[in-house]
């Protein structure tokens, strides 16, 4: 029985109770690294742009322009003006809602009482304008300054009008 002798002579294989090392922790680790890289790639541009921007001012903190410029009182109702422009060849109409910022409440009340007179003056001023005079951002800013000076002269109150705003500005 040489076969039995051969089996007996073979060393018995020890049975291991410990299982082979699991690959699960390694897969979880790799997944965490991949997710971290993806999250970093998504968030990094937002973080960098936030660091490059100057801090946004909160509503409680006025800007430098607001600190140096006196704040007035906005009239509650805009003055709506609709006029034909002075262009000879083209018939164009300007419709503007003009909001006036007065220096104080008393001046705002005076302007409100004289609103019909002010509207008439604005119609006269704006009906002399050509399309080229009011087209573009710079032209509108110049027109706002002109209206401010014009109204301050008409009202005969020193610096009665602090600023002019266009709530609506349509040319057809």
- Please state, in angstroms and as integers, the Cα–Cα distance from residue 128 to each residue in 41, 43, 49, 89, 123, following that order: 58, 55, 48, 14, 9
> Tens-digit pLDDT profile for the chain (172 aa)?
555 555 555 555 555 555 556 788 888 888 888 887 887 778 777 676 666 655 544 455 555 555 555 689 999 899 999 999 998 887 899 999 999 999 999 999 999 999 999 999 999 999 999 999 999 999 999 999 999 999 999 999 889 999 999 999 999 9
Q: Return the structure tokens found at 28.
A: 């979880």
Query: Structural domain of residue 125, as residue ranges?
Result: 72-171
| Domain annotation covers residue 61 | no
Which pLDDT score, from 0 to 100, does residue 128 have? Answer: 94
Asked if the structure places residue 163 within a domain, the reply is yes
What pTM, to 2 d.p., does this model score? Answer: 0.59
Residues with Cβ within 8 Å of residue 160, at least 6 apart in sequence: 102, 103, 107, 110, 111, 151, 152
Is there a domain that residue 58 lies in?
A: no
- In the chain, the number of structural domains is 1
Assigned domain for 109 exists: yes
Q: Quick one: pLDDT at residue 148?
A: 96
Could you give the C-alpha distances from 29 to 21, 32, 42, in angstroms and in order?
15, 5, 20
Residue 29 within any structural domain of the chain: no
Token readout for 122 is 């604005």
Do 164 and 148 meet the contact criterion of CB atoms below 8 Å apart?
yes
Task: Please classify residue 74 by burial: count the beta carbons closer than 10 Å to its beta carbon, then call 0-12 exposed, 13-18 middle and 19+ buried.
Answer: middle
Residue 102 lies in a domain: yes
Please report whether residue 27 resides in a domain: no
Cβ contacts of residue 75 below 8 Å, gap of 6+?
99, 100, 101, 102, 108, 111, 112
145 part of a folded domain: yes
Residue 101 maps to which CATH number? 3.30.479
DSSP lists the bridge partners of residue 6 as none
């Amino acid at each position: 029985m040489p076969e039995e002798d051969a089996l007996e002579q073979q060393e018995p294989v020890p049975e291991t109770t410990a299982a082979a090392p699991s690959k699960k922790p390694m897969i979880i680790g790799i997944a965490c690294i991949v997710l971290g890289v993806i999250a970093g790639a998504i968030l990094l541009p937002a973080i960098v742009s936030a660091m490059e921007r100057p801090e946004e001012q909160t509503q409680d903190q006025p800007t430098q322009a607001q600190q140096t410029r006196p704040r007035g009182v906005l009239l509650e109702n805009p003055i709506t003006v609709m006029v034909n422009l002075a262009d000879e060849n083209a018939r164009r109409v300007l419709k503007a809602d003009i909001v006036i910022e007065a220096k104080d409440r008393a001046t705002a009340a005076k302007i409100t009482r004289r609103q019909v007179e002010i509207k008439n003056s604005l119609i006269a001023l704006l009906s002399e304008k050509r399309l080229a005079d009011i087209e573009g951002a710079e032209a509108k800013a110049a027109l706002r300054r002109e209206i401010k000076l014009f109204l301050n002269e008409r009202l005969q109150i020193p610096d009665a009008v602090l600023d002019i705003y266009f709530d609506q500005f349509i040319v057809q």
